[in-house]
Amino acid sequence: MIIKGKVHRFGDDINTDDIISAKYLISTDPKELGSHCMEAIAPDFTKKVNPGDIIIAGKNFGCGSSREHAPVAIKGAGISAVIAKSFAAIFFRNAINIGLPFLELADTDKIKEGDLIEIDLSTGVIKNLTQSQTYQTQAFPEFLQELVEEGGLMNYIKKRGTRHV
């Protein structure tokens, strides 16, 4: 699976309140949550995002509370993947559940705001098309790629049943 999009950069320790403020948690609608994604730290973020864009961040992305709304808001804003130096453990589970790909890459500092990148989830190759650079990370497991293609765990189960989970 290939993902291609423009980069939106964030630093270290982006927490779930940065991603989606608690005052919006009354909604579970991805588009509604997405319309407020990152507004506490980047008020014009959603105005800059095009469907398929990618977030690049530093270490400990998605730290804070265990709210599942954070990856829902990211996906609802149109972001197709998140690449960070490291992720908070709870963010992994919540991102998997909704089919949001995430990759760890130590060299995120080399990728700049606005760069166009391409991710091959099956090989873990990340190409910075703007800078003509290539990075290697872990391939996204095939099962998780299937979850992404189905739009998350619940859609996967509905389509295939529980015998494969």
**pLDDT over 90 percentage in the chain:** 73
Where do the domains of the chain lie, and which CATH numbers do they carry?
A: 2-164 (3.20.19.10)
Residue 123, pLDDT score: 96
* pLDDT, average across residues 89-101: 89
Q: Residue 50 pLDDT more than 90? A: yes
Angle between helices 153-160 and 89-98 (to 10 degrees): 40
pLDDT grade, residue 164 (50/70/90)? Answer: low
Cα(143)–Cα(71) distance, integer angstroms: 19
> Sign of torsion, CA 73 77 45 47?
negative
User: What pLDDT digit, counting tens, does each position of 113-163 carry?
Assistant: 999 999 999 999 999 999 999 999 999 888 888 888 888 888 888 887 655
Residue 125, pLDDT score: 98
**What's the per-residue H, E or C state across 48-77?**
HCCCCCEEEECCCECECCCCCHHHHHHHHC
Name the strand (E) or helix (H) holding 118: strand 116-120
* pLDDT, average across residues 30-53: 96
* pLDDT, average across residues 65-72: 87
Q: What is the residue whose two structure tokens read 């709870």?
A: 90
Q: Residue 165 pLDDT more than 60? A: no
Cα(57)–Cα(161) distance, integer angstroms: 35
Q: Which among 26, 104, 35, 101 has a CA at the least distance from the CA of 67? A: 26
Residue 90, pLDDT score: 85
Q: In the numeric block, which tokens belong to residue 51?
A: 């469907």
Name the more confident of 73 and 156: 73
Residue 79, pLDDT score: 98
Name the more confident of 27 and 7: 7
Question: How many H-runs (helices) and E-runs (strands) does the chain carry?
Answer: 7, 7
